[in-house]
Amino acid sequence: MSTTRSRPPGSLLTRTLRFLGVSVLAGAMAAGIALPAVGLLGLGAKNAAESFNSLPDVFKTPPLSQASQIYDADGGLIATVYDRDRTVIPGDQIAPVMRKALVDIEDNRFYQHGAVDLQGVLRALNKNAASGTVAQGGSTLTQQYVKNVFVEQAGSDQKAVLEAQRQTLGRKIQELRYAIELEQTLPKDQILTNYLNITFFGEQAYGVEAAAERYFSVHAKDLSLPQAALLAGIVQSPSMYDPVTNTRLAKQRRDTVLTKMAQYGSITAAQAQQAISTPIKLQISKPRQGCITAQQGEGFFCDYVHHVVVTDPAFGKTATDRQALWSRGGLQIHTTLAPKAQKALQQSVTSHAYTTDDAAAVMSLVQPGTGKIVAMGQSRDYGLGANQTEINLNVGTDMGGGLGFPTGSTFKPIVAAAALEKGTTPDQSYPAPYSMPWPAMSDCSGNTYPENGEVHNDSPSLTGPFAMPDAMAQSVNTYFAQLEADTGLCDVSKMANALGITQQAGGTKLQVVPSLTLGSNDLTPLEMANVYATFANHGTYCTPVAITSVTKPDGADVQVPQANCHQVMSTETADTVTTMLLGVVQDGTGKPAGLTDRDSAGKTGTTDESKQVWFAGYTPELAGAAVVSDTRSPRDLDGQSIGGETVGQAFGGTLAGPVWRDSIEGALAGQPAGTLTTTTLPGESRSDG
């Protein structure tokens, strides 16, 4: 809510000068503020009037910080997230007894006086003077509401919050000035409703709806007399009168409220006595918020959504704007997460790698042609406890993730795509011995890498010559070293960039070096899943998206980022890669990952010393990438206990492949099987690998 009514400065001054000298000065004294002794009334009133008129005429209140809800693609709630637990409700959703209780204890003449209650100020001044202390304040509910607005504007900045709560003459003048403005532009009932929605009730509950749910597990409209009196009493000091930690003082304060309500005629003496005799009965609903509350491993996807909102310019021009949008909350965020696919993925990663294992299984699923992320998870739970983590290993550090993993031979199809785009045909043959020096090559910047070192295959028996399909099926390193050299590092890196790989997961520069073809860069499952989705989508790359719509508290829609889909390679190139990757799962290293009832294509990857194993692949409907890696102190997976079994020798096909297979089968169960588009490969012959 904001008010924009404006008038000449003098008009308000004319109305207020007759009580400004008394009310501001008295209010300041009631708040314990000392003014200069000499010319006290005249000087104080003069300075107050000058300060009063210097304030802007427009009093704007920020949208109240509320809880946001994140939903999956079927409309199911993933998580509720908030900086402040608050649900703003209209006045007719607040029990009348709650409204009466608050008025009677905080400002019983609220409906009789204006912005300033001179009787209340003078009464407080006399009482404080008699006691020698600040025993009673003179602020009206409207002034208190204004103060709460200042606190709300301060947000999570504790220094700003303390400044907003300081009881200085300047602050009292501000409260008075804007209280007058509000009283002229809003009905009393609306001011009271605004107050009940903004004020803090302790136990992380902001506003009366959150407070009713927190303490009694009911809605504000259903509060009983004793419950309403308890909440009204908390407002003065949420920590002192917290019924959870200090039941005795909370009851004393509640009973004071009930006595006042009877005194002012809101309830009868009999009703008050009956309520006073009732013990405090709490039914606490503990605050459960944030991605940590998500089920089925959805916490990591939830965390990813959070990072999208605070990093993507679609949600605000600056980082401050985007964070403010998230912090204000009240958002209804609908996402691409498919519950069925997520459940299947989570069951797969947790059955193939236990939470107590040193190794973790991580996987992302993407829908070809749309860029929609339909599932994301890992074998460790989202959280801060034992065997938990808040690091989303599916993404890089810029999105709340880790440093990524070397991708091994899952990178080879990118090299093949670059070669095919340059005119190389699948029947290109190389001798491909077991071992050979790295061929000479150069990058886009002209950096030259002379023939050097050694590249070798996984087995001494794996020797050529090979054409591209066989080399892909059996993952022949020496073949792809020669193919990379003839294609050129520059073109290979450009193809990687076009497929969304522009840097390493930790934010460092992509290393365009000869070992690029063997997956030496640290990348993420989400990136690799999206690369393979491009092959499935006949060469059209789509940027990954997680959010389908966002609605603000006022019902306005936020323009969410859309998938940028564009052709990055010819259809023939993509379908040729698909044909070769179909061979990988039919007769090659990826055979353990093959699906029995639908077309699938993919590629295995095993890194140096078997520290990581990968399988990335796709059907016409889904693309995914799974990696298994020791994430605690990266070491050889060979000999480790993973998923209840001791690994003899770790390979992408036998360790990561089943993770991918079970996820895809579960996600697509009951759906008709599509057909992958293939091309005719010249003179291919495949052997088991």
What residue ranges of the chain have pLDDT lower than 70? 1-62, 120-138, 155-171, 683-689
Claim to verify: residue 108 and residue 159 sit in the same structural domain:
yes
For residue 603, being part of any structural domain is answered with: no
How many C-beta atoms lie closer than 10 Å to residue 230's C-beta? 29
Claim to verify: residue 110 and residue 169 sit in the same structural domain:
yes
pLDDT digits (tens, 9 = 90+) for 203-239: 889 999 999 999 999 999 999 999 999 999 999 999 9
Claim to verify: residue 36 and residue 129 sit in the same structural domain:
yes
Claim to verify: residue 18 and residue 102 sit in the same structural domain:
yes
Q: What's residue 360's pLDDT? A: 95
For residue 567, being part of any structural domain is answered with: no
Question: Using CA atoms, how far apart are residues 38 and 292, in angstroms rounded to an integer?
Answer: 60
Claim to verify: residue 18 and residue 159 sit in the same structural domain:
yes
Domain limits for position 256: 200-288
For residue 38, being part of any structural domain is answered with: yes
CATH of the domain at 272: 1.10.3810.10
User: Exposed, middle or buried by CB within 10 Å (0-12, 13-18, 19+), for 584?
Assistant: buried
Q: How many domains is the chain built from?
A: 2
Q: What's residue 100's pLDDT? A: 98
The string of DSSP letters for 161-213 reads HHHHH---HHHHHHHHHHHHHHHHHS-HHHHHHHHHHHSB-STTBBSHHHHHH
Claim to verify: residue 187 and residue 255 sit in the same structural domain:
no
Q: What's residue 249's pLDDT? A: 96
The residue ranges of DSSP E strands in 424-516, in sequence order, are 429-430, 435-438, 441-442, 448-449, 452-456, 466-467
Q: What's residue 63's pLDDT? A: 72
For residue 5, being part of any structural domain is answered with: yes
Claim to verify: residue 129 and residue 190 sit in the same structural domain:
yes
Domain C-terminal end among 180, 198, 216: 198
Claim to verify: residue 171 and residue 259 sit in the same structural domain:
no
Domain C-terminal end among 164, 198, 232: 198
Q: What's residue 155's pLDDT? A: 64
Question: Using CA atoms, how far apart are residues 384 and 213, in angstroms rounded to an integer?
Answer: 27
For residue 156, being part of any structural domain is answered with: yes
How many C-beta atoms lie closer than 10 Å to residue 13's C-beta? 14
For residue 482, being part of any structural domain is answered with: no
Claim to verify: residue 172 and residue 46 sit in the same structural domain:
yes
CATH of the domain at 145: 1.10.3810
Claim to verify: residue 166 and residue 214 sit in the same structural domain:
no
Q: What angle do CA 166, 170, 172 make, to 5 degrees?
A: 70
Which residues lie closer than 8 Å to 261 by C-beta, 6 or more apart? 100, 101, 104, 105, 229, 267, 272
Tell which residue, 657, 648, 641, has the closest CA to residue 605: 657
For residue 145, being part of any structural domain is answered with: yes
For residue 393, being part of any structural domain is answered with: no
pLDDT digits (tens, 9 = 90+) for 240-291: 999 999 999 999 999 999 999 999 999 999 999 999 999 999 999 887 778 8
Q: What's residue 608's pLDDT? A: 86
Place of tokens 């070491």: 635
Claim to verify: residue 194 and residue 206 sit in the same structural domain:
no
Q: What's residue 177's pLDDT? A: 82
Hey, what amino acid is at 587? D
pTM: 0.79
Per DSSP bridges, beta strands 448-449 and 441-442 are: antiparallel
Instruction: Collapse the DSSP code of 376 into the 3-class scheme (helix H, G, I; strand E, B; otherwise coil) and give the result.
Output: strand
Tell which residue, 115, 1, 143, has the closest CA to residue 58: 1
Domain C-terminal end among 133, 164, 198: 198
Claim to verify: residue 114 and residue 130 sit in the same structural domain:
yes
130, 179 Cβ separation under 8 angstroms: no
